[in-house]
Amino acid sequence: MLSAALKALPAYWRAQLAKYATEWERFGMTAESFAQRFSVPVRIRISAVHGF
């Protein structure tokens, strides 16, 4: 049964949670413990693209 917070997420994010749930379990983590441990998002801004 999905929690109310999980139901409120867009379908894309629910799919991502399902996709990585087995990997988190493999490392003894849950989505909640993963979010607590890695709570700072990494933002990458592309400033230049070099071609061949």
Q: Could you give the angle at the alpha carbon of 37 between the alpha carbons of 10 and 20, nearest 5°?
A: 45
pTM here is: 0.48
Predicted local distance difference test score (pLDDT) of residue 45: 93
Q: Residue type for 38, please?
A: F
Q: What is the pLDDT of residue 1?
A: 45
Q: Which two tokens stand for residue 39?
A: 């709570």
- Residue positions counted in the chain: 52
Residue pair 37/29 in contact (Cβ under 8 Å)? The answer is yes
* Full pLDDT tens readout for the chain, 52 residues: 456 777 788 888 888 888 888 888 888 988 788 888 888 888 899 999 988 6
